[in-house]
Amino acid sequence: MRIIAIARRVLKELFRDPRTLAMMFLAPILVLWLMSVIFNANSTTNVKIGTVGLQSSLTTNMDDIKHVSVHKYDTQKAVKQALKDDKIDAYVKKTGDDYSITYANTDSSKTSAVKMAFKSALTVTNVNTMKSQLKLAKGTIAKLEQTLPVAQQKQLQAMTGAQKKAVTPTIHNHYVYGDSNTGFFAKMLPILMGFFVFFFVFLISGMALLKERSSGTLSRLLATPVKRSDVVFGYMLGYGLLAILQTVIIVYTTIWLLGAEVVGSVINIIVINLILALVALAFGILLSTFAASEFQMMQFIPIVVIPQVFFSGIIPMDSMAHWIQDISYIIPIKYAGDAVTGIMMQGKNLSSFGLDITVLLIFLVVLTILNIVGLRRYRKV
């Protein structure tokens, strides 16, 4: 009976806490639904290929492949600039009888898709060429069969040699970032770096402020003439210094320990992640005002933090439905991930990511204002 009584008391406490019930029943369903929508929608990868001096038949065959779009350029300078500006994922140039393919290689799945698309288009082009040559050869054989047997034999040998040469051209592969062994983890690394910075700063700041609330420190502080804004900025400055140290350690450890190739400046990577850390700090402080205990603070993780991973860019979203892509625009990690990826893989400067930095700063300002307003529930002055 005592066991039953204890069990009944536990169940009553659980049913009185809707957040716990939501975490147990709704959060797993939400995460599984998001995974289903994202992974089912992202079964294919869209790629954009630039061409310079390619025969029209090969260009047409590539363009006819599903999820592949081909863009023609007049000069190699123009196609290189397009690759640098992320307008294309790779470009193909014909040099003599051989082909040269240059990949951005910032996403190994797109690199593989370009290779498969080009080889498939080249095979179709060669087969069509062989059919045309065989058809021409049959006509020539019919004319030369009775009159010039020796010339006919030589011509047939020349045609056979031309067909072999067309079927087996040499393909030279070049990579802007990394090499042929660069895997998908290289695409994930810049975003994972930002996610871990965001997650741990969010968790530590939220837990720390919650502890000060539950211990009465915040109440005693608010009993003084200090302004609410001073309290928020003071906490952000204190925890911000720790966030800076944590961010620097995470960035340098990720780069050096994992041996990641960095084309751009490491300092720029740190700057972007520092801004993201401040956003996470303000976000953690804000959500801590809605939690009555550390356990309730943990409940925000599967609802607020984990879904952000799916929309951060760690999974290519270009083939997803537009409404799914639109969700990513309210995810701070998405902007930090785009900026760090550009710096790390393409060597871009901070000036190239003015929009991403501006959006992150807007997040920071809005969350800080909400934190100041949120303190009214603890002191109405």
pTM, rounded to two decimals:
0.73
Say what the pLDDT of residue 150 is. Answer: 54
CA distances from 339 to 172, 245, 246 (A): 30, 20, 19
| Residues 324, 207 share a domain | yes
Q: Let me know if residue 6 belongs to a domain.
A: no
Say what the pLDDT of residue 149 is. Answer: 54
| Residues 237, 169 share a domain | no
Q: What share of the chain is helix, strand, coil (3-state, %, to 5)?
A: 70, 5, 20
Per-residue confidence band for 28, with pLDDT thresholds at 50, 70 and 90: low
Per-residue confidence band for 268, with pLDDT thresholds at 50, 70 and 90: very high
CB 99 within 8 A of CB 169: yes
CA distances from 210 to 218, 236, 267, 377, 380 (A): 9, 14, 33, 14, 19
What is the DSSP-derived secondary structure letter of residue 22? I
| Residues 193, 138 share a domain | no
Say what the pLDDT of residue 141 is. Answer: 63
Q: Let me know if residue 247 belongs to a domain.
A: yes
Is it the case that residue 162 has pLDDT exceeding 80?
no
What does the longest C-alpha to C-alpha distance in the chain come to?
113
| Residues 253, 131 share a domain | no
Say what the pLDDT of residue 166 is. Answer: 45
Q: Which of 124, 150, 175 is the last residue of a domain?
A: 175
| Residues 190, 164 share a domain | no
CATH code assigned at 92: 3.40.1710
Say what the pLDDT of residue 165 is. Answer: 46
> Residues of the chain with pLDDT > 70: what percent?
78
Q: Let me know if residue 2 belongs to a domain.
A: no
**Whose CA is closest to 49, among 64, 30, 35, 27?**
64
Q: What is the pLDDT of residues 126-137, one digit of tens each?
A: 888 777 777 776
Q: Name, in order, each residue with C-beta under 8 angstroms of 374's C-beta and a sequence gap of 6 or more.
A: 286, 289
Per-residue confidence band for 381, with pLDDT thresholds at 50, 70 and 90: very low
Is it the case that residue 71 has pLDDT exceeding 80?
yes
Q: What is the pLDDT of residues 199-254, one digit of tens each?
A: 888 888 888 777 777 777 666 766 777 777 777 788 788 878 888 888 888 888 88
CA distances from 1 to 4, 5, 9, 13, 15 (A): 5, 6, 12, 18, 21
Q: Let me know if residue 41 belongs to a domain.
A: no
Q: Let me know if residue 35 belongs to a domain.
A: no
| Residues 200, 65 share a domain | no
Say what the pLDDT of residue 164 is. Answer: 46
| Residues 341, 286 share a domain | yes
- 155-169, 200-214, 323-337: range with lowest mean pLDDT: 155-169
Tokens at residue 204, please? Answer: 């530590």
Output the average pLDDT for the chain. Answer: 78
| Residues 192, 149 share a domain | no
Is it the case that residue 152 has pLDDT exceeding 70?
no
Q: Which of 138, 157, 175 is the last residue of a domain?
A: 175
Per-residue confidence band for 358, with pLDDT thresholds at 50, 70 and 90: very high
Burial of 176 (0-12, 13-18, 19+ CB in 10 A): middle
122 or 30, higher pLDDT: 122
Q: Name, in order, each residue with C-beta under 8 angstroms of 153's C-beta and a sequence gap of 6 or more.
A: none
Tokens at residue 59, please? Answer: 């260009």
Domain hosting 299: range is: 185-377
| Residues 241, 113 share a domain | no
Question: What's the length of the chain?
Answer: 381
Is it the case that residue 114 has pLDDT exceeding 80?
yes
Say what the pLDDT of residue 380 is. Answer: 45
Compute how many other C-beta atoms are within 10 angstroms of the C-beta atom of residue 120: 15
Say what the pLDDT of residue 37 is. Answer: 65
What whole-number distance in Å separates Cα of residue 199 and Cα of residue 194? 9
Is it the case that residue 6 has pLDDT exceeding 50?
yes
Q: Let me know if residue 13 belongs to a domain.
A: no
Say what the pLDDT of residue 279 is. Answer: 92
User: How many structural domains does the chain have?
Assistant: 2
> Residues of the chain with pLDDT > 90: what percent?
8
Q: Let me know if residue 15 belongs to a domain.
A: no
| Residues 208, 309 share a domain | yes
Q: Which of 156, 175, 194 is the last residue of a domain?
A: 175
Say what the pLDDT of residue 359 is. Answer: 94
What whole-number distance in Å separates Cα of residue 263 and Cα of residue 367? 33
- 32-36, 142-146, 308-312, 327-331: range with lowest mean pLDDT: 142-146
Say what the pLDDT of residue 324 is. Answer: 73
| Residues 291, 222 share a domain | yes
Is it the case that residue 337 has pLDDT exceeding 60?
yes
What whole-number distance in Å separates Cα of residue 123 and Cα of residue 136? 20
What whole-number distance in Å separates Cα of residue 121 and Cα of residue 135? 21
**Phi/psi zone of residue 347: left (φ > 0), alpha (ψ -120 to 50 degrees), beta?**
left
Average pLDDT over residues 372-378: 72
Q: Let me know if residue 235 belongs to a domain.
A: yes
CB 73 within 8 A of CB 79: yes
252 or 34, higher pLDDT: 252
Is it the case that residue 89 has pLDDT exceeding 70?
yes
Average pLDDT over residues 285-295: 78
What whole-number distance in Å separates Cα of residue 288 and Cα of residue 284? 6
286 or 142, higher pLDDT: 286
- Exposed e or buried b for every residue in 253-290, given b needs 16+ CB within 10 A? ebbeeeebebebeeebbbbbbbbbbbbbbbbbbbbbbe
| Residues 98, 234 share a domain | no
